Structure 1
């Protein structure tokens, strides 16, 4: 009996390591199973999301095909439309088509008297028998207070388009030296409220600014009616211009003028150099100088440039210059390299945008567009670059807004 008791005590004092090992092993195995289950669940959710988008697109294509078939049966013809092949087109081809449309816009957007002819608004603007509508506004100049008061009442007879949210952009322009000069600068800029789905919108916005009497002779008001677009550029419908030298002091002048074709204003010039590097499949764009008039009556100003390149239906990642203190002649002296896709097709479009910096926003000063086969300076500059391989060619281009 005395010998059995020490042995029993010995077994009771032995550490029980085997049960703890099983506990930790089961815990690790359960965590592993949980991770595997989460991964499988994530994969299944991704597959469901993709299949849902696919069925949505397929439903849209089937609906378009059905509508097209009904239309063709009604007309007695079998017409091929672009929607029938939409489902068979891969995604990259659809992106290429969208970029082609943007390149076409660039070709006509930045000329002084251009309009987008592909858009319904541009088609209406080119039709002399089709009225674009009228704009009602009034101007009053108070000689004692040196104050100009503008009231935008509304518009009449605008073209009816789907989701035609309309507003008026107002710019007070002044010539740099004399009215005979082409170079202008923006003294003030305003924008009315956006009126939704109305062909005869009523705005009722009032704008006032201090303007010296001597500045009336070389100033003008530009009112541009636009369709609001949340995700792209606003679509210009037409404009009205009034020279302020025709104003009579202390007498309100009311106007109801027909909208004219929207045009661009020259607000400066930019000196750009282009260099073709076919071996390394690159194009070098040099931003040398920017010449503008005074901007927005602000004391301390900084400007910078953004360069966008479209080549072979592909938009390159944009590049920005360093901010520079504004002067009548701002010197940048910066170069930017853009890699071109293979095979090299020198059918490019270069867009240079100059912005004025503000603490919480930015203001567009002007834009210059260069491309192959462009008009006037654009095409000549591009041809000289192609003839001077690996040699920079510099030329002045107008900044338009």
Structure 2
């Protein structure tokens, strides 16, 4: 034990000798590792320099390509936007066609926006439409003087247009003049509708309708028969109409008629007092519903009416607003205002649609509609122009309710 301890002390006090070969070998190995590290570092620096040079060349080529595309009249962003526009075009086209079809049923026409500029077409009426539609309507009338009843039999429609005869029905309205002082103001005394016939250009109906009618009312009553295309989700499209005055039905003989369809027209059933106010700073328009006059013969406390206001901006329909229900009377006062935010400048094409509905226990029924806009015909255009010349001041005017 003592010998081992003494041996260790001897080793610590006298280090072992190392040969020169090992010394030079370790030095050469250190130099070799240093050279390898320098080579790796040099390679990494070269790769970084190549990458930066390639990026600059790619950026330069991209700028040159963008310059060439700009010289040809388009940019990269525009191409992406155009692709998005093309992808969204079918849905937008369908939506525009739907709004155009809805406005067409109201007698208002927007021309589609131009693709080459921001100009928008005018708002007008169908004054250039033909006075006569395609097809005929066959029906019969009988007035029973003893029972004071009017009998209507709708037989068939002949030679309708193949484009609008997929689902066809006849809507009949018995119109009565309210007073001799206002012969243009009509009252819908009775309304009927036939069955819907599908996929036939000459549909056969055979529906019969009866109503009570005093003999003294024959002179101021007329019958309006409208051939319409049935639309489940929107307003029915009129294909033509026939009007017959009932002042000749004073005998108890059945009269057969086969009349050619004329262009569908609307009848005035009342008036609505509307105010318009332009707010250009906040880019809004204020529509005021002041008073409604209807052609009702008497007031009914059980019936109530309300108004729905729709604003169309360049073929885009804004969110509609409704008024509070009021008791039906010959003259109903509302005095309500509705604010609409306009997505575009007020100088663009706009149309305001006011629909008056009548409600009772059976549901709601359309009383009439008034349409006014920026470039509407006659009084509609005049009201809009007066609003544009009276900034932030309300301008009120009476408009006819049509149905």
TM-score, normalised with respect to structure 1 = 0.70
Q: Is the 8 Å Cα contact of residues 115 and 261 (structure 1) preserved in structure 2?
A: no
Matched, 1:304 2:301: no
Correspondent of 1:253 among 252, 255, 280? 255
From 135, 144, 169, the counterpart of 1:142 = 144
Secondary structure, counterpart of 2:198 in structure 1: coil
Q: Contact 1:238–1:259 (CA<8 Å) still a contact in 2?
A: yes
CA 1:99/1:276 → structure 2, altered by over 3 Å: closer, same or farther?
Answer: farther
Shift of 1:340: 1.2
Q: How does 1:235-274 map to 2 (within 5 A)?
A: 235-274=237-276
**Deviation at residue 144 of structure 1 after TM alignment:** 1.0
Superimposed CA distance per residue, residues 39-83 of structure 1 (whole angstroms, 9 cap, x where no aligned partner): xxxxxxxxxxxxxxxxxxxxxxxxxxxxxxxxxxxxxxxxxxxxx
User: C-alpha deviations, 1:1-50, integer Å up to 9, x for none?
Assistant: xxxxxxxxxxxxxxxxxxxxxxxxxxxxxxxxxxxxxxxxxxxxxxxxxx
1:247 Cα deviation after fit: 0.8
Range moving further from structure 2, 223-232 or 213-222: 223-232
* Cα distance change, pair 394–156 in 1 and its aligned pair in 2 (3 A): same
Partners of 2:264 and 2:271 lie apart in 1 by 21
- State the secondary structure of the residue aligned to 2:134: coil
The answer to whether the 8 Å contact 1:310/1:316 transfers is yes
- Per the TM alignment, residue 313 of structure 1 is displaced from its structure 2 partner at its CA by 3.7
CA offset digits 1:152-171 (Å, max 9, x no partner) = 01111111127611100000
Deviates more, 1:248-257 or 1:335-344: 335-344
Structure 1 residue runs of 5 or longer lacking an equivalent are: 1-84
Instruction: State whether residues 165 and 200 of structure 2, in contact with CA within 8 Å, keep that contact through their aligned partners in structure 1.
Output: no
8 Å Cα contact 2:304-2:328 kept in structure 1: yes
User: Residues 172-231 of structure 1, C-alpha deviation per residue, up to 9 Å, x if partnerless?
Assistant: 000111396110010011100001111111100000011111111100000000111222
Deviation at 1:283, TM superposition (A): 0.5
Alignment correspondent of 1:209: 211
Report how many aligned residue pairs link the two structures. 309
CA distance change for structure 1 residues 280 and 88 in 2, over 3 Å: closer, same or farther?
closer
Q: Distance in 1 between matches of 2:273 and 2:166?
A: 39
CA contact under 8 A between 1:187 and 1:297: conserved in structure 2? Answer: no
Q: Is the 8 A contact 2:284 2:341 kept in 1?
A: yes
User: For residues 132 and 215 of structure 1, do their structure 2 counterparts lie closer, same or farther at Cα, with a shift above 3 Å needed?
Assistant: same
Q: What's the Cα RMSD here?
A: 3.0
Taking a change above 3 Å as real, the CA distance of residues 307 and 180 of structure 1, as seen in their structure-2 partners, is closer
Structure 2 length-normalised TM? 0.70
Summarize the Cα distance change of 1:321–1:99 in structure 2 as closer, same or farther, 3 Å threshold.
same
Partner of 2:285: 283
Q: Deviations over 1:291-332 (max 9, x none)?
A: 111179966311100000112443211100011111111111
Cα distance in 2 for residues equivalent to 1:221 and 1:162 = 23
Deviation of residue 134 (structure 1)?
1.0
1:174 equivalent to 2:176? Answer: yes
2:216 match: secondary structure: helix
Could you tell me whether the CA contact under 8 Å between 2:270 and 2:401 is conserved in 1?
Answer: yes
In the alignment, structure 2 segments of 5+ residues that lack a partner are 1-81, 113-125
Match of 2:370 in 1: 368
1:309·1:318 contact (CA, 8 Å) conserved in 2? Answer: yes
Which residue in the other structure is 2:130 paired with?
126
CA distance in 2: counterparts of 1:261 and 1:99, whole angstroms? 27
Task: Tell me, yes or no, if the aligned pair for 1:221 and 1:241 is still in contact at 8 Å.
Answer: yes
